[in-house]
Amino acid sequence: MQNWLALADRVLAGEEITNEEAEAILDCPDEELLVLLQGAYNIRRAYFGNKVKLNMIINAKSGLCPENCGYCAQSSVSTAPVKTYKMVDKETLIRGAEEASRLRVGTYCIVASGRGPSEKEIDTVISAVKEIKERFGLKICACLGILKPEQAVRLKEAGVDRYNHNINTSKEHHPNITTSHTYDDRVKTVETVKQAGISPCSGVIIGMKETKQDIINMARSLKALDADSIPVNFLHAIDGTPLAGTDELDPRYCLKVLALFRYINPTKEIRISGGREVNLRSLQPFGLYAANSIFVGDYLTTEGQEKSEDYRMLEDLGFEIDFAGEQQPVC
């Protein structure tokens, strides 16, 4: 048996794990899983205690995307029946923030489909963000696609705290998932937001026929990018998308992946993201011994579990909500 707790101690002492150790985490025998998670929890607790960050998404613009990401129901190659609408108005964005504040959600994520935002869309987001910051003091994460440097600067000036642009998969596997843009395009946007002084959020989707080495490469690439926040999605394959029918994950493997991300990115916010409910199933609570962040409510094109079940899970774990808003929560 690997000495997972000693490995966690070495991570806490500032050492990086080797490739062999990373492979061993993903190959961890099921009977050692609790000890592997104990090590991940020791690391998580050192930096985040028992706090859990909550995030809520508003799907600000849905469908109509010209890109061809194989996992996405909103892409030009998907036949999945998704709602399609243009960027919602400022008032709708503000109403969503009000709900996020009421639910003690620290970060409100404004997400729009498409290759990148138009100037008009940026104007709408900026106008809403200024009012949301004033009224609710929420952290704002924008996710609007490939960004130009001047757009990043405008978002920063409006008060956007964080920008999400996922690398999604490894550089090597990326052409198998999307051909309408490159892995380097994605990295460039992460670098652009960093240069504008916005906190970078970038994550992955696990379960898209990648190898274990691809997963290790993803975790290391995000470390190199210095992403402050790392959403780990588990593929929820949607009928009508090119990846429909792909069903490679089991809940224990998902936990090993979350542990790997924690051992490689010890100080970063790791969020269990899309596909949490369908892939981790009854083992969802265990994920929070490695990760320290979740979404509440629905994802972009799939439903999450009832919000009350998420709050019950945190209460049962004895974990505390890390509410970053400045106003008193109302519930």
Bind-site residues: 65, 69, 72, 109, 141, 201, 271
Q: Is residue 87 within 8 Å of residue 60, measured between CB atoms?
A: yes
Residues marked as binding for [2Fe-2S] cluster? 109, 141, 201, 271
Q: Is 254 a catalytic residue?
A: no
Which residues on neighbouring strands pair with residue 141, listed in sequence order? 109, 162
Q: Is 262 a catalytic residue?
A: no
The span of 10-18, 61-69, 124-132, 259-267 binding ligand SF4 (CB under 6 A) equals 61-69
Q: Is 331 a catalytic residue?
A: no
Which of 150, 146, 133, 148 lies closest to 93 in space, CA to CA? Answer: 133
283-322: contacts with ligand SF4 (CB under 6 A): none
> How far is residue 103's CA from residue 296's CA, in Å, rounded to a whole number?
9
What is the total count of residues that contact ligand SF4 (CB under 6 A)? 9
Contact code string over 69-88 relative to ligand SF4, x by CB under 6 A: x--x-xx-------------
Q: Which is nearer to ligand SF4, 145 or 200 (CB)?
A: 145
Of the candidates 8, 36, 37, 65, which one interacts with ligand SF4 according to CB under 6 A? 65
The span of 37-45, 63-71, 117-125, 252-260 binding ligand SF4 (CB under 6 A) equals 63-71
The span of 22-30, 48-56, 66-74, 320-328 binding ligand SF4 (CB under 6 A) equals 66-74
From the list 28, 44, 72, 262, the catalytic residue is: 72
CB of 115 to ligand SF4, least distance (A): 6
112-131: contacts with ligand SF4 (CB under 6 A): 113, 115
Residues marked as binding for [4Fe-4S] cluster? 65, 69, 72
125, two tokens: 């987001």
CB of 78 to ligand SF4, least distance (A): 8
Residue 325's alpha-carbon distances to 95, 143, 177, 317, 330, in angstroms, are 16, 20, 37, 23, 11
Q: 298 φ, ψ to 5°? A: -85, 160
From the list 28, 65, 143, 254, the catalytic residue is: 65
The span of 14-22, 67-75, 207-215, 226-234 binding ligand SF4 (CB under 6 A) equals 67-75
Q: Among all chains, which residue has been given the structure tokens 């945190």?
A: 314
Which residues on neighbouring strands pair with residue 162, listed in sequence order? 141, 199
Residue 141's alpha-carbon distances to 62, 129, 158, in angstroms, are 17, 10, 12
Q: Is 143 a catalytic residue?
A: no
Of the candidates 28, 53, 67, 258, which one interacts with ligand SF4 according to CB under 6 A? 67
Q: Which is nearer to ligand SF4, 39 or 145 (CB)?
A: 145
Q: Is 65 a catalytic residue?
A: yes
From the list 104, 201, 262, 276, the catalytic residue is: 201
Q: Is 72 a catalytic residue?
A: yes
Our finding on whether 177 is near ligand SF4 (CB under 6 A) is no
What count of Cα atoms within 13 Å lies in the side-chain half-sphere of residue 162?
Answer: 23
What residues are annotated to the active site? Answer: 65, 69, 72, 109, 141, 201, 271
Residues that bind ligand SF4 (CB under 6 A): 65, 67, 69, 72, 74-75, 113, 115, 145
